[in-house]
Amino acid sequence: MDGKKILIIEDDDIVARTIERCLRGGEYRVTIASSGVEGLQAARRDVPDLVILDVIMPGMDGYTVCKEMRKDTLLAEVPILFLTAKTKDDDKITGLAAGADDYLGKPFNVDELLLRIKAILRRTQRMKQESAQPAGPAAEASPRKEAPERIVRIGEYTLNTRTFEFYSPQTGKFRLTPVQYDLLYHLMTHPGEIFSPNRLLDEVWDYPSDAGSPDLVRVHIKNLRERIELDPKNPVFIQTVPGYGYTIPLPEEG
């Protein structure tokens, strides 16, 4: 992952330089922007592989920056990691609902930050490699064994592994963020299996057991249900098994 471009949008120069020093040791290419507007301009000039984004900034706050990136076709698929002192559950929900991939509170552990950065970059690199694979007979040889059109199907619900679009018979078609894609792909390729939040953190986020929070899984599931379900509080597709975790049920035969 040497040479990956990391954009830090952070108005506290001490924090920004601390992160920069940590990343320089990993031979990342680091750019720092001290405001939301400056950060968006920097991202559009040179699209980064990852954005580390503060929330509380003068002018345009981090939530707005995140939403603007997700609306911009140039930046829509760039992963975003919030790094902020706003760590209440409502803050995390707001940030992840805006389109962020992960959320880490301040003060932060440098080793955990580096772990999350590496995990996010591995996921996005995997998605790029998969999208570059040819359709047709070559796709049939893929370890994931998609059909030639590269569609994963559960009943009427479909996931296109080339365009990262999901179709719900209730709400129609929409494009997923990288982490939403990985989460749905994992659940849809294991229908009927129940996954605890900690297991999903391990198998989807690539985080060890002592990193990450089950809240991260809970909020991403909540956001997906709001896009997939007519009634997100009574989900049909991604279901909760109380005391165990989440599952996508096997479609009923006939």
Residues 199 and 225 in one domain: yes
Q: Which of 78, 103, 130 is at the close of a domain?
A: 130
Q: Which of 130, 165, 190 is at the close of a domain?
A: 130
| pLDDT band at residue 212 using 50, 70 and 90 as cut-offs | low
CATH number at residue 239: 1.10.10.10
Closest CA to 239 of 231, 15, 1, 182: 231
CATH number at residue 48: 3.40.50.2300
Q: What is the mean pLDDT of residues 113-125?
A: 86
Residues 149 and 101 in one domain: no
Dihedral angle computed from the Cα positions of residues 217, 221, 224 and 230, in that order, rounded to the nearest 10 degrees? -170
Q: What is the mean pLDDT of residues 106-117?
A: 89
**Does residue 167 lie within any of the structural domains?**
yes
User: Each residue of 178-208: pLDDT tens digit?
Assistant: 788 889 999 999 999 999 999 998 888 877 6
| pLDDT band at residue 148 using 50, 70 and 90 as cut-offs | very low
**Does residue 252 lie within any of the structural domains?**
no
**Does residue 173 lie within any of the structural domains?**
yes
Residues 223 and 205 in one domain: yes
Q: CA-CA distance, 5 to 47, in Å (whole number)?
A: 8
Q: What is the mean pLDDT of residues 129-143?
A: 48
Residues 126 and 12 in one domain: yes
**Does residue 254 lie within any of the structural domains?**
no
**Does residue 93 lie within any of the structural domains?**
yes
**Does residue 253 lie within any of the structural domains?**
no
pLDDT for residue 137: 42
pLDDT for residue 147: 42
Q: CA-CA distance, 20 to 41, in Å (whole number)?
A: 19
Q: Which of 71, 104, 130 is at the close of a domain?
A: 130
pLDDT for residue 89: 78
Q: CA-CA distance, 242 to 40, in Å (whole number)?
A: 41
The winner for highest mean pLDDT among 22-36, 207-221, 222-236 is 222-236
Residues 170 and 233 in one domain: yes
Residues 124 and 191 in one domain: no
Residues 53 and 123 in one domain: yes
User: Each residue of 56-96: pLDDT tens digit?
Assistant: 998 899 999 999 998 898 998 899 999 998 888 788 888 88
| pLDDT band at residue 142 using 50, 70 and 90 as cut-offs | very low
Q: Tell me: pLDDT of 231 over 90.
A: yes
Residues 104 and 183 in one domain: no
| pLDDT band at residue 211 using 50, 70 and 90 as cut-offs | low
Please work out, in degrees rounded to the nearest 5, the angle formed at the alpha carbon of residue 53 by the alpha carbons of 48 and 55.
Answer: 155
Q: Tell me: pLDDT of 210 over 70.
A: no
Closest CA to 217 of 191, 232, 237, 199: 199
Angle between helices 110-132 and 178-188 (to 10 degrees): 70
Residues 75 and 161 in one domain: no
Residues 70 and 96 in one domain: yes
Residues 168 and 221 in one domain: yes
Phi, psi of 161 (to 5 degrees): -85, 0
Determine the structural domain holding residue 100 and report its residue range. 5-130
User: Each residue of 3-22: pLDDT tens digit?
Assistant: 899 999 999 999 999 999 98
What total number of domains does the chain contain? 2
- What are the start-end ranges of the E strands in 125-164? 151-154, 157-160
Q: How many CB atoms lie within 10 A of CB 198?
A: 15
DSSP state of 205: S
Q: CA-CA distance, 247 to 241, in Å (whole number)?
A: 7
**Does residue 104 lie within any of the structural domains?**
yes
Q: 52 versus 25: which is more confidently predicted? A: 52
Closest CA to 177 of 169, 167, 166, 187: 166
pLDDT for residue 22: 86
| pLDDT band at residue 140 using 50, 70 and 90 as cut-offs | very low
pLDDT for residue 130: 60
Alpha helix ranges (H) inside 50-172: 62-71, 89-97, 110-132, 137-140
Residues 172 and 117 in one domain: no
Please work out, in degrees rounded to the nearest 5, the angle formed at the alpha carbon of residue 77 by the alpha carbons of 194 and 231.
Answer: 45
**Does residue 50 lie within any of the structural domains?**
yes
